[in-house]
Amino acid sequence: MWRSAISIRHLAMRQTQTQHGACDEARTQYSVLSARQSLGIVPCAAWRLLLLVAFITLELFEPTVVSAADPIRPPSNVKVEEIPYRGGTSIKVSWDLSPDDTTDGDSRVEAYEIRFDQVPKPFSQIESLAFRFLPGWIWNRVWRGRGSSFVMRLQTLPGARSIEPSKYYDGSSFDGTGVDSGSTFRVSVVSIGTDKARSAYSNAVTFPRFRTSPQTAPIDKSWFALVVILVCGTVIVCTELARRGKPFYVRPIAGLQAIEEAVGRATEMGKPMLFVPGIQDMNEIDTVAGLTILSSVAKTAAEYDTPIEVPTTRSLVMTAAREAVQAAALAAGRPDYYNEDRIYYVTDEQFGYVAHTCGWMYREQPAACFYLGKFYAESLILAETGNAVGAIQIAGTAETTQLPFFVAACDYTLIGEELFAASAYLSGEPAQLGMLKGQDFGKLAAMVLVVIGCLLATWDSILPRGKDAQGKDLPPRTQFLRDEVLKGG
């Protein structure tokens, strides 16, 4: 904020010099001509007389035109208005110029200063009591800045009639001064003279909703919120129904049914297995879904006593994977199966990780490879290497760009939502299976919206809505669905 004010002030100074330079120019011109005259360049006596008169006029009349004793006058008619569609963060302050701010070169105004006073909120009853009875040091710590007023100043060039303060502050300036978003401000403007004298304050305008951050509504994206509540509500209802014994059919997922086959194959061949839980961190839901499947794979592997290697790209994933495998080994009644050396961090680097994992695959020749999580360009390299070593491969990702590669190179692929359904499917718990049913409601809602959208668009194309009274095209019927419902509302 102050940086901007300084730079604006700098500009103001430069401009002031230009505007007030008329007298200096006249003086300079006079002295140059005098010098020339002495050299005999301007011999005419009339010139000499004219310049002398000009000089005397400037010297005599300048002090009387602008008297240092006269106070500089403030601007008037200050107005504050909110700039629409910017969430209340942007206001425009405008004013009528001070009578001393003229454009004929004699302006006495160097700058305008806009002053914002944060109006302190009235004390609540508790605060009033606290103010009366609490020791000062506690009051200052707890209610610091609560009763004080904050003043923000901005300066503009002379001749400026308005300013948008949001262009000149950044959030940190406000944060540092304890301004509350949504505070009431009193705005006034003062003229600053070329002699640094300050005028009286203009009329003050109170502006009640000045915000330091956008988005004023307490609830945003209302349509989206409604959809989320409906989908999540249905999921919870289905879970409850499943808990009470209502049977739900979940279609078999080939990739998950193949897990036992893959573990059995590795056991028969006496070779290890590889599990890659993606290359992202725990904040990716794909990684969490991958780890839930790891839990199930590790349980089966522990029962068969087939070693499983889990190299990870993130150390948090490594920790979670260790937890999952250890618990699975315990659940299988084989606590000695767990070996933390087989679950380790390699590197965060995508292709460094690929180099390590592919190298391990060529050396150890795993019999089964699982790629379940978030994958990017490394998906095909891993899957092709697994194919080259003859491993049975099961992959799953929600990254749509990588699905074709897994489909081409792996034996089984969990496509998108199947990866997330896997945990519920493998657990076999009614509550979790009920949740899968709840998802179907969301799909139904999506299908209904698609059909409604198609019908409306068709209607629009066959029978357009025509024009309004002003002759403008009326918006298509799909607009509400597209702009309000689907974009969140």
Partner 1 sequence: MLDFLNTLDRRWVFLAMGLAVAIPILLGIGATEQPTAQTQRMFDYIEALPAGSRVLMALDYDPSSEAELTPMAYSFTRHCCLKRHKLYFLTLWPSGPPMLDKTISKVVLGEFDSSGRPMKYGEDYLNLGYFPGEFGAVNPICSNLRQSKSQDSKGISLDALPMMNGVNGGKDMQLIVNVSGGYPGAKEWVQYGSTPHNIPMGAGCTGVQATQLFPYHPDQLVGLVAAIRGAAEYEAILAKAYPQYNELRWRDGTRRMGAQQWAHRLMIGLILLGNAIHIASRRGRGRR
Partner 2 sequence: MQKTVPVVIAGSVGALMALAFFSPPLLWMREKAEEWFTILAAIAMLLGGTNLCVHHLRRISDREAGWGFSAVTLLTFVITVGVGVLKVGVVPESARNLDRAWSGGYLQEGGAFWWMFQYVYSPMMSTMFALLAFYVASAAFRAFRAKNFEAALLLVTAIIVLIGQTPDRDFLPEQLSFIRFETLTELCKKTFVTAGQRAIMIGIALGVAATSLRILLGLDRSYLGGDE
Contacts (CB under 8 A) with partner 1, residues 375-394: 376-377, 388
Of the candidates 192, 116, 197, 196, the one whose C-alpha atom is nearest the C-alpha of residue 154 is 116
Strand order in the sheet with 205-210: 151-156, 109-118, 183-193, 205-210
420 binds, among partner 1, partner 2, none (CB under 5 to 8 A by kind): partner 2
The kind and range of the H/E element at 365 are none
d(CA 240, CA 124): 45
Count of other CB atoms within 10 angstroms of residue 329 = 20
* Least distance (Å) between residue 171 CB and partner 2: 11
Please tell me whether residue 414 adopts helix, strand or coil conformation. Answer: strand
CA separation for the pair 429, 31 (Å, rounded): 100
422 DSSP β-pair partners = none
Interface pattern 191-230 for partner 1 (x via CB under 8 A): ----------------------xx----------------
Residues 295-334 contacting partner 2, CB under 8 A: 295-296, 314-316, 318-320, 323-324, 326-328, 330-331
Partner interacting with residue 33 (select from partner 1, partner 2, none; CB below 5-8 Å by kind): none
Q: Which does 369 bind (CB under 5 to 8 A by kind): partner 2, partner 1, none?
A: none
d(CA 4, CA 339): 61
Nearest to partner 2 of 368, 383 (CB atom): 383
Give the start-end residues of each E strand in 137-200. Answer: 151-156, 162-163, 183-193
Residues 162-191 that bind partner 1 (CB under 8 A): 167-168, 170-172
Which positions ≥6 away from 66 have C-beta within 8 Å? Answer: 106, 108
Q: Figure out which of the listed residues 47, 61, 351, 480 binds partner 2, where binding follows CB under 8 A.
A: 351
Q: Tell me how far apart the alpha carbons of residues 107 and 339 are, in angstroms, rounded to a whole number.
A: 84
Per CB under 8 A, contacts with partner 2 among 252-281 are 281
171 binds, among partner 2, partner 1, none (CB under 5 to 8 A by kind): partner 1
Closest CA to 293 of 206, 394, 435: 394
List 4, 15, 102, 432, residue binding partner 1 (CB under 8 A): 4
Task: Pick from 131, 201, 344, 459 the residue near partner 2 by CB under 8 A.
Answer: 344
Alpha-carbon distance of 13 to 191, in angstroms, equals 14
Report yes or no: 91 and 83 within 8 Å, Cβ to Cβ: yes
Shortest distance (Å) from residue 258 CB to partner 2: 18
Specify the stretch interacting with partner 1 by CB under 8 A; choose among 2-10, 41-49, 286-294, 447-455. Answer: 2-10
351 forms part of the interface with partner 1 (CB under 8 A): yes
- Report 83-122 residues binding partner 1 (CB under 8 A): none
Nearer CB in complex with partner 2: 91/409: 409
Q: Which residues of this chain interact with partner 1, rule CB under 8 A?
A: 3-4, 7, 167-168, 170-172, 213-214, 280, 350-351, 376-377, 388, 400-402
